[in-house]
Structure 1
Amino acid sequence: MKSVTVHEVPADAQLIDVREHDEYAVDHAAGVVHIPLSEFPARVDEIDPDRDIYVLCKVGGRSFQACQYLEQAHGIEAVNVEGGTDAWRAAGLPMN
């Protein structure tokens, strides 16, 4: 599985946020699709497998799990965003 820093995520990336609802409600990276890890298996069909997939959470642990799940259970390559939303915010990248 590939991992990248927040600075390596393309501007037009398919970005998936796997944090839970309460975390997401506080703030989130602009343009993300919110699929909480607790709902991930049931909602995986919302992810476009024909586009590069970048996954983030708070700091990188849950997104790593989601990437593993995509690859092992569905054969879909995904990229873990190291540092997650915390790093995204700290880098001054667009937030909602």
Structure 2
Amino acid sequence: MKIKFVFIAILVAIFSASMLNAAELGSTAVIEVAQANKMVVKGTLFLDVREQSEYDEIHAPRSTLIPLDRLGARMNEIAKFKDQPIVVICHSGKRSQVAVKALREAGFPQATSVTGGMVAWEKAGFDVVKK
């Protein structure tokens, strides 16, 4: 009985943490690849926050690389997009969510993360540049 209670408590804690993370980002902070592609085709800034080596292996042709660990120092490069949508991508969608949180805190309220990242982008058949 005690083990069952501990297991349930752990599940509740994990669920609560994931819901808090989603609430912090906001419901519009994550988009599917098809919507991201439509936005990018229309000229939305497409920000890739992976490392240079990952980008060199495969990337979307319209993307701009600013690795996550350099995003804070390079915000001035994208300052003109503060009042515009920004699509952010990484490998699987985790780093892009971190980047979106940082961008929103820095005054980019329309930043969104691509669900599934480059893995989902390539799987969906959208254009990629490969090494």
1:30 maps to a residue whose letter is: P
Alignment correspondent of 2:35: 8
Alignment correspondent of 1:20: 51
- CA RMSD in angstroms comes to 1.0
Alignment correspondent of 1:91: 124
The alpha-carbon deviation at position 30 of structure 1 amounts to 1.5
TM-score in terms of structure 2 length: 0.69
Moved more, 41-50 or 53-62: 41-50
Name which one, 1 or 2, has greater alpha-carbon Rg.
2
Between Structure 1 and Structure 2, how many residues are aligned? 95
TM-score in terms of structure 1 length: 0.92
Alignment correspondent of 2:96: 63
Percentage of pairs with the same residue:
36
From 39, 42, 46, give the equivalent of 2:73: 42
Runs of at least 5 residues in structure 2 that lack an aligned partner in the other structure: 1-25
Higher relative contact order (CA 8 A, sep 6+): 1
- SS of 1:38's partner is helix
Structure (1/2) with the larger helix percentage: 2
